[in-house]
Amino acid sequence: MRQPADAPRDDAGVPAGDAAAGPAAAALSDAPVERAPDGSEVRPLLRVRGGSMAHFRLPAGATSKAVAHRTVEELWHVLAGTGEMWRKSGACERIVSLAPGLCVSIPAGTSFQFRAGSQALEIIAVTMPPWPGAGEAIDVRGPWAAVEAAGADRMRILR
């Protein structure tokens, strides 16, 4: 459903959906493409007082930067593609295979990194509280070198 041009939006331009603004709707096709701190493509969708929702995409063969979030936690649902996600929190360190239908949690302070297999990974994530902006993500050391897909057959190491 297309959001009217005059619909209430927050400071980041994301359609607002809190009680003051009223219910909101957003279409993935209308969302602007931005770059997440981990290097993936992100399309912010909706936001309410308690959380925000976004669509993430990591191209086939790409590996995100390893990061940790200072204050937010996330719930991810894999929509398409396959890959792997590394998460580390204290002494607990795991790598999980990502495939459509899988949900994963990323508690605040957890280091994480993900990589796509032969198809692009597409993920819907809910961030709680809403994504606060610059400075939330901290670069950390992960198990893999970060690689960005650049064109159909070129890869570039992310710095």
pLDDT tens column, 57-81: 999 999 999 999 999 999 999 999 9
pLDDT at 2: 39
Q: Which residues pair with 53 in a beta bridge?
A: 46, 126
- Which CA distances in Å does 12 have to 43, 44, 45, 55, 58? 12, 9, 11, 15, 22
On the CB side of 69, CA atoms within 13 Å amount to 19
Model confidence over 78-91: pLDDT tens digits?
999 999 999 999 99
Model confidence over 125-149: pLDDT tens digits?
999 999 999 899 999 999 999 998 7
Model confidence over 13-69: pLDDT tens digits?
555 555 556 788 988 888 889 999 999 999 999 999 999 999 999 999 999 999 999
Considering only the C-alpha atoms of the chain, give the largest distance between any 2 of them, rounded to a whole number of Å.
49
- Rounded Cα distance between 53 and 125, Å, is 6
124, 78 contact by CB (below 8 A)? no
pTM as predicted: 0.82
- Rounded Cα distance between 80 and 124, Å, is 10
